[in-house]
Amino acid sequence: MTHLRCTIRTRTPIYTGGIDGTMDRIHETSIIGSLRWWYEAIVRGLGGSACDPTEHTCHFDSDKYRRSKAKDERQRLRDVGLCDVCRVFGATGWRRRFKLEVVKDNTTAIWSPPDKMLNIRPPGRKRGWYLPPGRMGSFTLRFIGEPRVLSLMASLLLFLEQWGNLGAKPQLGYGVFSIENRNEVKEWAEKWRWQVLGNKAPSDKLPDLRRFGFFKYRFAPSQPGWWTDVPGLTYVARHVQSLVSRYLIVPVSPALKNEWRFRKWNRNWGDPREVFGTLKPERRRSRTAVSWAYRMDEGWEVRGWAWLKEIHWTKGVWSVLSDKHIWRSILPDGELSTFGTQNSNILEIIQNGGGNE
C-alpha cells in the first residue's frame, strides 16, 4: 500500500462535529462523508452508477464475484452488486479502498465554549442562523491505499479546493480550504485521469454535477470595517471583530441567504425550502452553500455552489443566485464570476478544477 499526504489550511472554519455535538478535533468520519458526497456527484455527472447511501442498496456478493466471467474488473464489481462509488468507499461485504488518518492537527476552536452558537439575525428575522464555532488552522490528511484510488482522491481534493468544501455544514459557509503541498498532490492526481463512466441521465433526487452552479465574489474594500454594513453583523460586532482580527474571516453567509430566500424569492418558483433547506416540519438539507468572506491576497473572497433541480434552472433560480447586483447590495463593490454545469463538459470541469490539465 502507498501513501498520499495532503496538508490542509482552512480558509473558513471547518466543522466535523463530535459525539456530544461539540468539536474537540478534526474527525475523519466527517471528512470521509464529505469526500463521498462530492465523489457521488462527480460519478453521476460522468454518467456512472452511484447508489443512495442512505438506502444501503449495495451489497458485495462474494459467490457471484468468484463465479463472474467479466474480464473488466469495474464491470465485474457492478455485476456482483457494487456501484461505481461503493467500490471505492465501501459497502456491505466490501471494505473501503483507502484508509484515512488525520495527522498533525494544528487547528483551534474559533471561540469557546465549544457548544456556544453565534446567532446572526438579519433585519426582519426572529430566529436567524446559528453558527457553531468550528476550527481554524492546518492539518494533514494521510491516505493509505491503492495507487489508482489515491490518485482519484488527490484529484477530488484539488477540485474541492477550487469549488467545494470539506466536513459538515457547507450550507453555513464552513469547510473552504487551500492545499499547502499542492504540487505534491497534483503529481498524484496526474497519475490517473477521470473518464466517462456511463450514460445515466441526471436526476433531481441525488446530487449530480450536471445540475450544479458555482460562484466566486472578490472585492477589495476601501475601509477595514466594511463588514459592519453587512445586514445582521452589527448585533454580534464584538464576536465578528475577534474573527476578523484573529483569522481574517467574516460570517456573511446569513446575509446573502436572507436576501435570496426572503427578499428575492419568486413564489412561482415553488417552495424555497427545497433550495435553502429547513429543520421543520422535516429536516431538508440546503442545496445552496455560500462561504464566509475570507482574506485573499489584497482583497476578500466569498464562494459557493448550488445543486438545483431542473425546474429551478428553467424558472430562473440560478439567475438570482448569480445576480451581481444582489451581491453588491450586501457586500462591498466587487467582481462576481459564475458558471453552471448544465450542457457543459463535465470531464473538462473536473480536470481543470482538479488540476489534471
The overall average pLDDT reported for the chain is 91
Are 183 and 48 in contact by the 8 Å Cβ rule? The answer is: no
**Is residue 36 over pLDDT 90?**
yes
Say what the pLDDT of residue 285 is: 87
Where does 2-189 sit in CATH, by number?
Answer: 3.30.70.1900
Report the number of secondary-structure helices (H) and strands (E) in the chain.
Answer: 13, 12
Report percent pLDDT > 70 for the chain: 97
**Is residue 352 over pLDDT 90?**
no
**Is the preceding peptide bond at 231 cis, omega within 30 degrees of 0?**
no
Say what the pLDDT of residue 357 is: 31
Say what the pLDDT of residue 354 is: 45
What 3-state DSSP class applies to 289? strand
Q: Could you tell me the three cell numbers for 107?
A: 487547528
53 vs 86, residue with greater confidence:
86
Say what the pLDDT of residue 314 is: 80
Q: What is the pLDDT of residues 116-136, one digit of tens each?
A: 899 999 998 888 999 999 999
**Is residue 68 over pLDDT 80?**
no
Say what the pLDDT of residue 311 is: 85
Banded model confidence at residue 260, pLDDT cuts 50, 70, 90: very high
Banded model confidence at residue 296, pLDDT cuts 50, 70, 90: very high
136 vs 54, residue with greater confidence:
136
What are the extents of the domains in the chain?
2-189, 209-344
The pLDDT of 150-172, averaged and rounded, is 95
The pLDDT of 190-204, averaged and rounded, is 88
Q: Could you tell me the three cell numbers for 7?
A: 496538508
Say what the pLDDT of residue 4 is: 97
Are 118 and 239 in contact by the 8 Å Cβ rule? The answer is: yes
Burial (CB < 10 A; 0-12, 13-18, 19+), residue 238, is exposed
The pLDDT of 247-266, averaged and rounded, is 96
The pLDDT of 92-115, averaged and rounded, is 92
What 3-state DSSP class applies to 325? helix
Whole-number Å distance between alpha carbons of 220 and 234? 20
Q: What is the pLDDT of residues 213-240, one digit of tens each?
A: 999 999 999 999 999 999 999 999 999 9
**Is residue 3 over pLDDT 50?**
yes
